[in-house]
A and B are shown apart, each in its own frame.
Chain A
């Protein structure tokens, strides 16, 4: 029987060195007895340092867990950890066998340690000691369940770099001073001041943020177990807060609703303005504002905003698309998404200056189907197009373009009020009445949907040609 005596319980390096030696020397776990100095060494063991053999490679994840698990206070931990690495050296799949008793224990114990670490990060309460040359110093007393100080101190270092601090626990202390982290022996609660000037404010906050109408004591206690309460300044208020909760709620219910605060009307300086959908709209700005309040069809319920047309009122050419897409809906401007990019490129190739065109859509609100983190475009119905035509007609009346270019079938419906195929209309110039001409072509998003590269190139060239013709017509 080999005996290993650990002088520093919870110290990973010491255990690791011993385990490495045993593993290298091929010493099976059943032939090792692990003791800590506190327990006293056995009289019969052979405690000569074991011979080191070849190196054994272990999964990194296992060593990371062992580093934490060794902090557990259970005296059997060093032995069980050794058994696990002994098995892991022979079975590379061991860690994945979560239903294995050792691995189940390992993961459960690791979880307990990680929880203990997390709770220490949360529940340490510093008290101020003073200030020296502008640098404040603080100290805290804390009683973790396991020997985790070395695993938590770096967190406090990263967080509280700019102040001096010490955390005293029964096992050990961590001290951050002169930008150096050091450790020392354990201490007692008496070393830490018994109050802090800010604690009154903290307790006031704790009391005020509590909602007496939704008492859930079990939820609180499962996350903030009672064992921590003695070192939490706010915990002394739990009992009185609970005792008064029912009466506070009852008072809220029983109190008859009082008269409105006499200042109400003075404070409410603005009453909500109703957006009138009247006919006296004289400018594109008025039109856009009125459009913002449009509730003519249900599409306004889910879309972010109505996207009004954009461009100079004196524009001679008006481009009409289908409806805003995801990006247009977010930004409130037409043709700024992927289809807008394509349109910009094609306009440039066709020799048309976007800034001199009026761009708008047949439908002003984005119609979509939510799917996880995306919104999938949905075609508007003819009904929706026809209802929204009211706005398109207003835009046409204000801009009075010589030429309207419809992009896609919805636009054609929006402008003409009739359902016609693009193919039947394309390539010719049509009269809309009042001297306005109509040219029908595809929507740029059509190009984005074509999977066949060669076909997409052909369609794109035809689109450019349509727009080049528009330029000639307008010249």
Chain B
């Protein structure tokens, strides 16, 4: 199996990795290669070095170490019972590819995952070994994202945290029942325990950094870009409410930087009980919008669900607008006086627009003509705000307000 040419292995093991949505290379510490005289840097902001025709950013070399797997998760292209071609890299091959790509400025670093071979511990050891070689033998300062294998020994997770910028453990399905029927080998408790040990590692490293006596003495870092996770949308019967409930628990319990939502997309040699449908991209998009509301707009999950029906977000309009239409009693708000928290609730105003409004209204009254310089979606904002020269009047309570924003039904298929 190691006899396959490198191009063939790369093709198999990148194809096998593409269902993981994360490609982020942001949020880590600032560091570069000036001191080590090697290569690599991370500067906080991630860089997308290319874009595939699926619109997704290519920031990292995202591959599996191997797609052999002893698990049989039915939504997964790499499940044991699938007939996809199999391949396996040895750690040196991954190191070589990473460095070759990095030196040509194709990538920010490596995102390495793997099928489970032999045992969780053995698999995790292999992932850690690749990161160790990159960091210790090549003094590589670029970004490393390692998948943590749920159930692996906490000692291995601790080691992974020393080398990696980010760790991630995928929840895959939001409910226990979903996991039980689709991924019998995965246990939600094992996944949560693994994420808990990552959070404890991050917390302890932060404590150590705060408590040190000498500013110069650098404490060992631990996954400075934190941890993330992914849920598959549309493979099982979970509702958006279940998905957001799980996301809320992950953010609050394990301080995740990101939860990714990945529309279930047909895979080669699919299991018979999975929907052979188009990936629900609009649903995925709405979940991301709701996720943003949770993290940056001060919304609680229950509020977002006010604009939903049967636990499913409205596909035709965004979740903030859906909420606002249910809570028209709050609107219109005076853009020159409303507190930041209230401005964040106005449909069409993003966090950046709100920051600008708060800053610029200190220098004088905002009028309707100024809005176009502050936000791109003036039309959406109008029914919900008041300025000295604008009153929405009956527009705010108009029965046809939803129709103003909801696209004609057939347009939905364009989004797919």
Contacts and interface: CB of A to CB of B under 8 A. Distances in A.
Contact of B47 (A122, A140, A211): A122
B49 interface: yes
A276 to B, nearest CB: 15
A62 interface: no
B54 A216 contact: yes
Most chain B CB neighbours (cut-off 10 Å) among A156, A160, A332 = A160
Most chain A CB neighbours (cut-off 10 Å) among B57, B70, B71, B189 = B189
Given A160-B39, A332-B193, A219 B51 contact: yes
A257 B55 contact: no
A65 to B, nearest CB: 16
Contacts of A98: 356, 359-360, 373-374
A304 B192 contact: yes
A214 B261 CA distance: 14
A314 interface: no
A375 B252 contact: yes
Given A155-B43, A261-B81, A99 B70 contact: no
Interface stretch (A52-60, A247-255, A343-351, A451-459): A247-255
Interface residues on B, range: 35 or more
Nearest to B71: A268
Interface string B14-57: 11011100000000000011101111110101011111111111
A272 B70 contact: no
A158 B33 contact: yes
B70 A267 contact: yes
Interface string A288-302: 000011000000111
B281 interface: yes
B370 to A, nearest CB: 4
Interface stretch (A182-190, A237-245, A394-402, A460-468): A237-245
Interface in A264-292: 264, 267-272, 292
B228 to A, nearest CB: 15
B403 to A, nearest CB: 25
Interface string A114-137: 000010011111111000000010
Interface stretch (A354-362, A365-373, A384-392, A416-424): A365-373
Contact of B270 (A155, A201, A257, A372): A257
B292 to A, nearest CB: 14
Interface stretch (A3-11, A202-210, A404-412, A431-439): A202-210
B70 to A, nearest CB: 5
B53 A162 contact: no
A200 interface: yes
Interface stretch (B98-106, B336-344, B393-401): B98-106
Interface stretch (B3-11, B214-222, B230-238, B316-324): B3-11
A105 to B, nearest CB: 10
Given A98-B374, A215-B53, A159 B61 contact: no
Nearest to A198: B100
A97 B361 CA distance: 9
A331 B33 contact: no
A97 B41 CA distance: 36
B14 A208 contact: yes
Contact of B80 (A205, A223, A252, A264): A264
Contacts of A326: 253
A14 interface: no
Given A161-B38, A261-B82, A210 B196 contact: no
Given A158-B33, A223-B48, A270-B70, 7 more contacts: A123-B49, A124-B105, A210-B18, A211-B52, A219-B55, A224-B51, A370-B248
